[in-house]
Structure 1
Amino acid sequence: MAAEARLTFDIPAQSLESALKLFTRQSGGQLIYGALDLSPYHAPAVQGSMTYGDALSRLLSASEIEFRLRDGNVAVLRERRDQSAEEVNTLQRVDVVGTFDEEREHIYQTPGAAGVVTREQIDRLPPRNTSDVVENVSGVFTSQSRQNPGVSVNVRGMQDFGRVTVMVDGARQNFQKSGHGSNGLVYVDPELLSGVDVFKGPVSTAGGAGSIAGTVNFKTLDADDLLENGERAGGRLNLNSGDNGYHFAGSLAAAFRPSDNFDMTAAISRKNLGDYERGRRGLPDDTPDYLHGVSQFTGQEQWSGLFKTRWRFAPDQSLELSYVGMRADYSESYQDTSLQDHQRGENEAHTDTLSAHYHHGGGDNLLLDLDASLYYTLTRVNEARRGSNFYDDFAVEYETNTVGGTLANRSVFPFSGFDLALDYGTEFYYDWTDPQAQSRSNDSQSSTEWFTGATPEGERWVTSAFTEATFQHQDWLKLIAGLRYDWYQIEGNGRVFNGLIPNPEGVRPSYTRIYTNFDVERHAGDFAPKLTLSLSPYRWLEVYGSYGQGLRPPAITESLLSGAHVGNMFYYYPNPGLEEERSRNWEVGANLKWDGLLARGDTLRTKIAWFDSTVENYMVQGAIMTPVDEAQPVGFSGFAFVNLDDDVRFRGLELETDYDAGWVFGGVSYTRMLIDMGEGGYDPFPLGSVYGYPDTVFGEPGGYNGGAVWYVLPPRQRVLANLGFRLFDRKLTLGSRFRYERTSKTPPIGGWVSGSAVDSWRTWDLWSSYELTDNATLRLSVNNLRDTYYTEMNGGSYQVGTGRTVIGGISLRF
């Protein structure tokens, strides 16, 4: 790289040490600064197109440090009082910044529970579904049917109905569909991803509105991911194919940058999967025959695409417009067995996300670093439901629309000996759902409510104002205080079943159903504070502790549930009086960073954290007494979402570590979960009673409630360990991965766990890559090397995972 080449930088105002790390990543250069103490200095924002030297000069402009260039892209830093390069050459210790993956470095610089997935990690073992992408992050799980390309993200034991904010490039994905399993599904193609950012626990800045478990942001490709420094056009072609139903997965992505201030990116992806064979080794003797061999209905076909354009129309202003979309065809059945083929449904999922992002900041103005965004997400799932003994063929459509936006600014106030940074702003999102169902036989009965009532039509607004102050004294003390106010409103209507009236003899039908119309309009709001204290007594050690609160309003489904289970097995009822979930989260942890620990130039990074989250008013689905029940029914007559009387508690230990010595590298991710769902207990009369509240066993602590929690709990322990070697001048990379899960043996309240699902398991994977040229890389991977029989979380039960799968591929840059 020539020093005169113009590069594009986007470095916010921050401490000088952190800014230089971003600089090395964005420039591709190296900095040598020896034992210089950078902690007293602050760097202004550097944004826009400029040369390597100009950008570095601006970063150092507020310090007493200067630099001298070597070989174009290597800069030697020194104090201004130094008079010669010889003094620098005699430094006893030389640090080269940028040898460790800067995206992963973010994990170990954050005084909180952060996680990162890089594109390199995604490419190692090509994912079959999106759930495979985030499994390396401690404390993050997924609940996904292999029949469905959508994924439900579970963070620290919590999922569904917005407990976790899941985004694509900052745009919320709030699609929900009721069924036997997880409720919230996100459709995003791993081929279009550049990485994933995770933050666990309450968030007091943008993205945290209405959630209590954390945020997960799937980032898609842009021009910076495809173009090297100085390139005007280029792209990437990925092609993968294998056995065991992994027919094809590939993508073509290209970027064009006609000038330093404008770029465009486009990508298209195709995936074709077939039914897979389950593993055979360790198959339990009591496993039913239908769980042997091929897993039915796990084939999928999908197309995905994106288009982005970015315009820097002023030195400190930019506008980015983007579109990300996916179309997927797949089949589903209640059980993955050919015996259930008559219940097979042919499905099509569409998702489209449009977003605009404006940024204003840079230069020497430390008070202005403004981000504004506006987005729209539409997710629609069309189902062709085959008829059964209970109903005729149905055409069903579930649709969730989300409009949202953020406005946030960062102001930095540097003082002598310490810095103060303020992040403040607002965000909002508006959801509306529009389910449709139609019997293909034009049956006049009200059975369409079997499909639309459980995923009801409604609207929900959530708005939030937030501020977070970060006080930093040199590099050893950091205090972060945040406060947000969330407000929500839910509106909707429907009708509920209230009983039968016999018709006169000879009249058909023999009875008349009685319904009552209902309207829901509820709003509320509250504050949620957060406080974090971080201490760094040594450069290699940071310890922190934090306390935070969160608030999650009821979702549309939870408030407006109505209709009946398919076949009129039982009825659903709304609960307009649901209280918001409120969480209290304690966390203590440490970041450890060593350079040159075992060998010259190696890096070791470790993050360890203990968390304790308590949720009051936890919302679950439980059996209730309907308003017209005169006495305790036999079995049950209705279900509604209710607030548990007991608090629900999620505790655990998380560990992530990365080691890189150049020729050898590895990492470990460990999670230990302790979940206490309490004794339950809830109000079994959410809609009151016209018969004076008769005695009932429903809602009693520790008693029967018909299955309140419809998703299984995450494993008690999970370990993922990676080990790799770079050989032949790093052209050949060989690696392996070990996975272990110790499944939770405590079933959900009123739920069930099948006998074949509670066994612990371990699997081994292998992967390799070889750089044929600078622009061509061959890849080969083996998932589940020993063909182990194992199970995965699948909503309300478990699903048997894939057997041994060999995948080969090639990546081409052009």
Structure 2
Amino acid sequence: MITFLREGLRASASPFALLVLAPLAGVPLSAAALAQSAPAAPPAANGEPVLELDTITVTSGKTEDRVIDDLAGSSVVTRRQIDLLQSSRVSDVLQGVPGVAVQETGTDPGQAVNIRGLQDFGRVNVLVDGARQDYQVSGHGANGTFYLDPELIGQVDVVRGPVSTVYGSGAIGGVVSFRTRTIDDILAPDERYGIVQRLGLGTNGAGAVTNTMAGARIGTAADVFGQFVYRNTDTYRDGNGDRVEDSDSELTSGLFKFNVFPADGHALSGSVLLQNYTFANNGDTGVGTRFSNDVTANTYTLGYRFSRPDNPWIDLSVKGYYTTTEDNKRVVAPSGTYGAIGVRPGDILDYSMDTLGFDISNTSRFDAFGMGHALTVGIDGARDRGETVDRAGGYGAAFTPSGERSLFGGFVQDEVRITPWLRTIGALRFDTYELDGGGVSADGSRVSPKITVGVEPITGIEFYGTYAEGYRAPSITETLIQGTHPFPIFNILPNPNLRPEVARNLEGGVNLQHDDVFTEGDSFRAKISVFQNRIDDYIDIVAVGPVYNVPVVPGMPVEACAFAPYLCLIGIQDQQYQNIARARLHGAELEAAYDWGGGFVTVAGTVIEGKNDITGDPLNSVIPNRISTTLGFRLLDSKLTLGTRLTLVDSSKEDVTNPTAGYGLVDLFASYRYDENISGDITIQNLFDRQYTQYLNSEPSPGLTAKFGLTVKFASR
């Protein structure tokens, strides 16, 4: 870890990077400049915080807090950051967040989030406007993809580790909460109605995007917001100039939201998000039977909120939601085993997951025994119904079985301010689940505790320590999967006796904040954390049963291997999801930013290691070490922003299943705001056309790519 951080120090041209990384790398650093007061940073001209670490978040605990004051490994990505780099996929949006990676397939616009080496089957709870995204399809890629276009995102809140006990069951890796766009993203507080039109074009497959947003405020009684997004991407070329076939797709999406304020403190809100993606591919390996894909990913929410300053005992939030994701696949050209068993063009393979859920909580603020309390009590639940309709050979239904799972939980959390320099957070969460399908039933329950202590011995320097537990129920697929892999031939066996995973996380960190460090009006923020997450009964797929040989020729009987072993693969075993006695992950994270008005610089670093404690083997899901830094300058009275982002990624562990080499990327960006109504953006990604494949991805990433965007707004006051 120390070696990697020292390499990061040498690689960065920023003196600020030296200031931030030096303590981790063992370089002496005086704390005198950090021992002064640290008031909140002044807002920018548009009312947003100058630094993203000053942005308000509620993800780690339901109560509003600035990220820099949050006693957890939390981060925020704002709309301003997304626009600055013209993100085309969620992987672009989250690239600079420590401890977070996004696994994706170049031939499918879906993606899966990895936090601190954990992903798949709900280990990371992905929320869109508070609604769980539990869609799962098993194959050679990620198990737990979701679909969301960056143009729809207003803000992303990330919490790393099993510390967010208030946001549903299963999040032993963390929570990623996406807020879609709202009327406040396009209209200033004094504007009544308006429309924003954005057009974007890109090279190397980035294609074209059009984003139309409109909103209106009906006095102080209500507001409405609508958005339409169309994106058409082409096939791209990697750094070697090779085309990545089937990397093109088409998206049509619509978003509608409303808020009604019937009386002081009362708010009723609702949203409808509709997305439709079309694309074609030869499976996630690129060599299987060819399918056309028609994916719909829809989210519906309805909520009520009551909050009024004169009533600190009631801060009530009630939300219900329904999400549905369906991939309607049609065989285009059967090949290999599919062709041999009679699959024909037009045959149907349909995956769907419907989730119906709710979330109710209330926060009471009061003083007792000389201490300030924020006591939050809540309940939440979700019911997943997965269904696979397979008339295209049966392999899809075998590997992604149909079934239902119900999750229900309740929690109590008390945030206590004991003294001006000492605070604690204590929480208990109860989880229970039931799973049914294929004639198999399973259930379980558990209480998970959390305790956090924060100490601020010097204003602007706050240390914290946390012990938190998390609980993840087995998924439908892990429990019920049963079938034969087409080639090479082996069986995947069900396991109705799977036990839930239990995570026990120890974490320590420090939040640093100070203003007027080098010049009047500048701001410095940093979050540094170290963690160890031990997962008991970790679920992974393992080889089981006797070793046998299988033929390499489709349709050839297994018995022939005794007479023609040269036509057979040797040493094949069946596979089954089982509980590993224990898995352990540990690492360190850094997120820091410095803003001096005329510019800014940010640094994000991640070091993670994970292994199976029983065998000593590495966990394949652990992402390589990574560090990134962004340097930007504001010119022409802050109308023009110019900058660059450098990302350095270490090579993966040598003994993982599919190791990858390390790489470095350089991106450039420029943004010009002519006035509050007209702006233009230029972004160049992978400036030096580097050939690389992100760890866990099946396809190499794009080479040199340029993007151009123009945004025009009309609004009336």
Amino acid in the other structure paired with 1:583: A
Q: Distance in 2 between matches of 1:278 and 1:133?
A: 20
Q: Which residue of 2 aligns with 1:249?
A: 209
Q: Is 1:276 aligned to 2:212, yes or no?
A: no
Q: Which residue of 2 aligns with 1:455?
A: 400
Match of 2:623 among 686, 703, 714: 714
Unaligned runs of 5+ in 2: 1-38, 57-64, 550-568
Q: Which residue of 2 aligns with 1:639?
A: 575
Q: Which residue of 2 aligns with 1:579?
A: 499
Q: Distance in 1 between matches of 2:49 and 2:290?
A: 52
Q: Which residue of 2 aligns with 1:398?
A: 351
Q: Which residue of 2 aligns with 1:159?
A: 119
Q: Distance in 2 between matches of 1:524 and 1:642?
A: 17
Q: Distance in 1 between matches of 2:604 and 2:417?
A: 30
Q: Which residue of 2 aligns with 1:356?
A: 302
Q: What does 1:755-766 correspond to in 2, within 5 Å?
A: 758-766=660-668
The two structures have a TM-score, normalised by structure 2, of 0.86
Q: Is 1:111 aligned to 2:13, yes or no?
A: no
Q: Are 2:283 and 2:291, in contact at CA under 8 Å, matched by a contact in 1?
A: no
Q: Is 1:322 aligned to 2:260, yes or no?
A: no
Q: Distance in 2 between matches of 1:103 and 1:806?
A: 30
Q: Is 1:210 aligned to 2:210, yes or no?
A: no
Q: Is 1:490 aligned to 2:435, yes or no?
A: yes
Secondary structure of 1:151's match? strand
> Would the alpha carbon gap of residues 607 and 397 (structure 1) be closer, same or farther in structure 2, given more than 3 Å must change?
same
Q: Distance in 1 between matches of 2:82 and 2:279?
A: 23
Q: Are 1:606 and 1:656, in contact at CA under 8 Å, matched by a contact in 2?
A: yes
The two structures have a TM-score, normalised by structure 1, of 0.76
Q: Which residue of 2 aligns with 1:770?
A: 672
Q: Are 1:776 and 1:812, in contact at CA under 8 Å, matched by a contact in 2?
A: yes
Amino acid in the other structure paired with 2:433: Y
Q: Distance in 2 between matches of 1:364 and 1:558?
A: 50
Secondary structure of 2:191's match? coil
Secondary structure of 2:383's match? strand
| Offset of residue 766 of structure 1 | 0.3
Q: Distance in 1 between matches of 2:171 and 2:621?
A: 20
Q: What does 1:163-174 correspond to in 2, within 5 Å?
A: 163-174=123-134
Q: Report Cα offsets for 1:764-785 as digits up to 9, x if no partner.
A: 0000011223210011111011
| Offset of residue 567 of structure 1 | 5.7
| Offset of residue 669 of structure 1 | 0.5
Q: Are 1:129 and 1:146, in contact at CA under 8 Å, matched by a contact in 2?
A: no
Per chain length, whose mean CA-contact separation is higher, i.e. which structure has more relative contact order (CA < 8 Å, sep 6+)? 2
Q: Distance in 1 between matches of 2:68 and 2:222?
A: 33
> Would the alpha carbon gap of residues 336 and 371 (structure 1) be closer, same or farther in structure 2, given more than 3 Å must change?
same
Q: Report Cα offsets for 1:717-746 as digits up to 9, x if no partner.
A: 101100000001111110100011002224
Q: What does 1:12-51 correspond to in 2, within 5 Å?
A: none
Q: Report Cα offsets for 1:205-259 as digits up to 9, x if no partner.
A: 4314222111101110111212101211013221110211111022111111111
Q: Report Cα offsets for 1:699-758 as digits up to 9, x if no partner.
A: xx87xxxxx97x65311x10110000000111111010001100222444xxx22xxx52
| Offset of residue 27 of structure 1 | 11
Match of 1:433 among 386, 403, 408: 386
Q: Are 1:783 and 1:805, in contact at CA under 8 Å, matched by a contact in 2?
A: yes
Match of 2:242 among 293, 297, 303: 293
Match of 1:607 among 504, 527, 538: 527
Amino acid in the other structure paired with 1:325: L
Amino acid in the other structure paired with 1:421: A
Q: Is 1:812 aligned to 2:695, yes or no?
A: no
Amino acid in the other structure paired with 2:349: V
Which structure has the larger Rg over C-alpha atoms? Answer: 1
Match of 1:657 among 573, 582, 592: 592
Q: Are 1:210 and 1:462, in contact at CA under 8 Å, matched by a contact in 2?
A: no
Q: Which residue of 1 aligns with 2:20?
A: none
| Offset of residue 335 of structure 1 | 7.0
Amino acid in the other structure paired with 1:714: I
Q: Is 1:591 aligned to 2:511, yes or no?
A: yes
| Offset of residue 624 of structure 1 | 2.4
| Offset of residue 25 of structure 1 | 6.5
Q: Report Cα offsets for 1:554-585 as digits up to 9, x if no partner.
A: 00001111122236822222111001111110
Q: Is 1:384 aligned to 2:319, yes or no?
A: no
Secondary structure of 1:251's match? strand
Match of 1:198 among 158, 162, 165: 158
Q: Are 1:156 and 1:673, in contact at CA under 8 Å, matched by a contact in 2?
A: yes
Q: Distance in 2 between matches of 1:807 and 1:149?
A: 18
Q: Which residue of 2 aligns with 1:780?
A: 682
Q: Distance in 2 between matches of 1:26 and 1:419?
A: 31
Amino acid in the other structure paired with 1:719: I
Q: Are 1:793 and 1:799, in contact at CA under 8 Å, matched by a contact in 2?
A: no
| Offset of residue 343 of structure 1 | 3.2
Q: Are 2:202 and 2:708, in contact at CA under 8 Å, matched by a contact in 1?
A: yes
| Offset of residue 166 of structure 1 | 0.2
Amino acid in the other structure paired with 1:143: Q
Q: Distance in 2 between matches of 1:723 and 1:25?
A: 20
Q: Report Cα offsets for 1:124-181 as digits up to 9, x if no partner.
A: 1222322211111100111111211111000000001010100101100000000002
Q: Which residue of 1 aligns with 2:631?
A: 723
> Would the alpha carbon gap of residues 416 and 600 (structure 1) be closer, same or farther in structure 2, given more than 3 Å must change?
farther
Q: Which residue of 2 aligns with 1:803?
A: 703
Secondary structure of 1:557's match? helix
Q: Which residue of 2 aligns with 1:529?
A: 449
Q: Distance in 2 between matches of 1:259 and 1:568?
A: 65
Secondary structure of 2:478's match? helix
> Would the alpha carbon gap of residues 99 and 160 (structure 1) be closer, same or farther in structure 2, given more than 3 Å must change?
closer
Amino acid in the other structure paired with 1:388: S
| Offset of residue 418 of structure 1 | 2.7
Amino acid in the other structure paired with 2:256: F
Deviates more, 1:545-554 or 1:244-253: 244-253
Q: Distance in 1 between matches of 2:511 and 2:212?
A: 38
Match of 2:412 among 445, 453, 467: 467
Q: What does 1:94-243 correspond to in 2, within 5 Å?
A: 99-101=50-52, 102-103=54-55, 106-243=66-203
Q: Are 2:141 and 2:284, in contact at CA under 8 Å, matched by a contact in 1?
A: no
| Offset of residue 107 of structure 1 | 2.1
| Offset of residue 664 of structure 1 | 1.2
Q: Which residue of 2 aligns with 1:478?
A: 423
Q: Report Cα offsets for 1:255-309 as digits up to 9, x if no partner.
A: 11111120001001011111111113xxxxxxxxxxx611111111111111001
Q: What does 1:658-697 correspond to in 2, within 5 Å?
A: 658-680=593-615
Q: Report Cα offsets for 1:589-633 as digits up to 9, x if no partner.
A: 00000100011100000000001101111111122239x99xxx9
Q: Distance in 1 between matches of 2:361 and 2:327?
A: 33
Amino acid in the other structure paired with 2:575: F
Match of 2:318 among 359, 367, 372: 372
Q: Distance in 1 between matches of 2:171 and 2:675?
A: 46
| Offset of residue 26 of structure 1 | 12
Amino acid in the other structure paired with 1:469: D
| Offset of residue 372 of structure 1 | 0.7
Q: Are 1:204 and 1:530, in contact at CA under 8 Å, matched by a contact in 2?
A: no
Q: Which residue of 2 aligns with 1:306?
A: 255
Secondary structure of 2:55's match? helix
Match of 1:266 among 226, 240, 246: 226
Q: Distance in 1 between matches of 2:105 and 2:391?
A: 26
Amino acid in the other structure paired with 1:103: T
Secondary structure of 2:141's match? coil
Q: Is 1:790 aligned to 2:692, yes or no?
A: yes
RMSD value, Cα: 2.5
Q: Distance in 1 between matches of 2:280 and 2:330?
A: 9
